[in-house]
Amino acid sequence: MTALREVGILGTGSYAPERVLSNHDLEKLVDTNDEWIVSRTGMRERRLVSEGQATSDLACESAKRAMEDAGVGAGDIDLVILATVTPDHLVPSTACILQARLGLVNASAFDINVACSGFVTGMNVAKSLIAAGAYNRVLVIGAETMSSILNYKDRGSCILFGDASGAAVLGPYAGQGKILDMHTGADGTGGMSMVVPAGGSRKPCTPEVVAADEHKLVMKGNEVYKFAVAKFKDLVVEQLARTGYKPSDIDLVIPHQVNLRIIESALSRLDIDPARIYINLDRYGNTSAGSVPLALDEARRAGRFQSGSLVSLVAFGAGLTWASSLIRW
């Protein structure tokens, strides 16, 4: 049997649309206020697409930046994995739309639907395929237009999310971003805690469905809150147990940007200095599959980690799903 190859992150990129929706803007849409949102979530503003902009448009920008950063051309990519719960269309996949847009003529392409765990899950799938020798340059993207499925009459959910995209090019390890450990998991019994009830085969869209906003996200906030705190803690503890590192060895944790209270609550159960957690949810909210790659790219470009740093990615979300990855940058 051929030995498995080591896999690295060759480049990263991200893109958030320009339009800003602040807490004060939300006060005009639903019965809420800036003080409530900041104290319960840590969020101050989020980005939204402009009229006519869709998930593939966000994905395209972040992918171009990641490919440029990695120094690869369109012909070099042999697989595109695009994580999203807000595809441009039900069919075809947004990955195929992107493949055509970027002229990735040598690439296979498919979407994965793992919600907020999407990018890290996509990375882990890519890592396995590259390690096995099946592909050489995989473009992994997390991209979401959450505003397209939010109910802006529901103050319990619409305040939390924004639109954004992030991407990475993975390939055989070449001295940067070696993936040391990965894990993914799911518990479908919790699936109905975050659901878009209609628009799929169970309940196709009709005028009645749309009038009742059943094509929009419905969330049991308290259930998700408890799951997220526990899963965040478990993912880090298990990652350290598998790899033999101590909490103090981790230079930066890049968590899914879910909610500052959830992150702080999980951290209080872990022996990790809060200064070693990357947070940008105050500026973008929760951008689902876009969240971790946007934070990874921002943190990297801001010099929050360097060559040799140990970086932990931790994500969890609807499904329920979760994924983690440990990287020696």
Ligand X SMILES: CC(C)(COP(=O)(O)OP(=O)(O)OC[C@H]1O[C@@H](n2cnc3c(N)ncnc32)[C@H](O)[C@@H]1OP(=O)(O)O)[C@@H](O)C(=O)NCCC(=O)NCCS
Residues forming contacts to ligand X in the complex (CB under 6 A) are 32, 36-37, 40-41, 116, 155-156, 159-160, 219, 221-222, 224-225, 228, 258-259, 286, 317
Distances (CA, A) of 278 to 192, 217, 295: 29, 27, 7
Other Cβ atoms closer than 10 A to 105: 10
**Smallest separation (angstroms) from ligand X to the CB of 201:** 24
Residue 319 falls in which region: left (phi positive, over 0), alpha (psi -120 to 50) or beta: left
**Smallest separation (angstroms) from ligand X to the CB of 86:** 14
CA proximity to 275, closest of 245, 306, 305: 305
The answer to whether 256 is a known catalytic residue is yes
DSSP helix/strand/coil, 317: strand
Question: For residue 194, how far is the Cα from the chain centroid?
Answer: 16
254 close to 314: Cβ distance less than 8 angstroms: yes
312 close to 252: Cβ distance less than 8 angstroms: yes
The answer to whether 96 is a known catalytic residue is no
117 close to 88: Cβ distance less than 8 angstroms: no
**Smallest separation (angstroms) from ligand X to the CB of 195:** 12
Could you check whether the bond before residue 320 is cis, i.e. omega within 30 degrees of 0? yes
DSSP helix/strand/coil, 200: coil
CA proximity to 308, closest of 183, 178, 181: 178
Question: Which C-beta is closer to ligand X: that of 64 or that of 261?
Answer: 261
Question: Which C-beta is closer to ligand X: that of 66 or that of 258?
Answer: 258
**Smallest separation (angstroms) from ligand X to the CB of 185:** 15
List phi, psi (to 5°) of 120: -65, -40
Question: Which C-beta is closer to ligand X: that of 32 or that of 128?
Answer: 32
Question: Which C-beta is closer to ligand X: that of 73 or that of 221?
Answer: 221
Element (H, E) at 120: helix 118-131
Q: Which of 215, 256, 259, 280 is catalytic?
A: 256
CA proximity to 193, closest of 160, 159, 222, 233: 222
The answer to whether 205 is a known catalytic residue is no
Long-range residue pairs from 1-4, CB within 8 A, at least 24 positions apart, any chain: 2/133, 4/131, 4/132
Q: Which of 60, 96, 116, 158 is catalytic?
A: 116
Rg of the chain over CA atoms, in angstroms?
19
**Smallest separation (angstroms) from ligand X to the CB of 81:** 20
Question: Which C-beta is closer to ligand X: that of 116 or that of 313?
Answer: 116
Question: Which C-beta is closer to ligand X: that of 32 or that of 53?
Answer: 32
**Smallest separation (angstroms) from ligand X to the CB of 48:** 17
- Indicate which residues carry an active-site annotation: 116, 256, 286
